[in-house]
Amino acid sequence: AQSVAQPEDQVNVAEGNPLTVKCTYSVSGNPYLFWYVQYPNRGLQFLLKYITGDNLVKGSYGFEAEFNKSQTSFHLKKPSALVSDSALYFCAVRDDTGGFKTIFGAGTRLFVKA
């Protein structure tokens, strides 16, 4: 069965500092991994995805994520946080066995202080 864990309910970081939002996963086959961001009362916006290839994936708004197969992790990172990055971040996974059901993590709220 597929599962996603986001171990931190909340991450606090000062503006200009690097940020990391953690995600670990479990799938039967090879993973397709995604990060989405949600602003209050809004739907989800796609940030980036890993399907295959380079383990370091670059996405929107300066975000990147590193796929680590041995640790089954896909942590979201940004070198320099902005106050406007404050939002709810969801990690999601599905496997490559043919279905398209995507499982979402519980979400991590990011607060960036000025």
Partner 1 sequence: GAVVSQHPSWVICKSGTSVKIECRSLDFQATTMFWYRQFPKQSLMLMATSNEGSKATYEQGVEKDKFLINHASLTLSTLTVTSAHPEDSSFYICSARRAAITETQYFGPGTRLLVL
HSE value, Cβ hemisphere, 13 Å, CA-based, for 29: 10
Task: Decide if residue 105 touches partner 1 (CB under 8 A).
Answer: yes
**Region binding partner 1 by CB under 8 A among candidate stretches 15-23, 53-61, 76-84, 103-111:** 103-111
Give the pair of three-digit tokens for residue 24. Answer: 């670990």
Contact 75, 20 (CB under 8 A): yes
Instruction: Report the alpha-carbon distance of residue 109 to residue 101 in Å, rounded.
Output: 24
Is the CB of 85 or the CB of 95 nearer to partner 1?
A: 95
**Region binding partner 1 by CB under 8 A among candidate stretches 13-21, 34-42, 60-68, 72-80:** 34-42
Task: Decide if residue 106 touches partner 1 (CB under 8 A).
Answer: yes
**Region binding partner 1 by CB under 8 A among candidate stretches 20-28, 31-39, 57-65, 76-84:** 31-39
The letter for the amino acid at 63 is F
CA distances to 21, 61, 90 from 8, in Å:
8, 22, 11
Is the CB of 61 or the CB of 79 nearer to partner 1?
A: 61
Whole-angstrom Cα Rg for the chain:
14
Judged by CB under 8 A, which of 32, 63, 74, 89 binds partner 1? 32
Q: Which residues bind partner 1 (CB under 8 A)?
A: 32, 34, 36, 41-46, 49, 51, 90, 100-102, 104-107
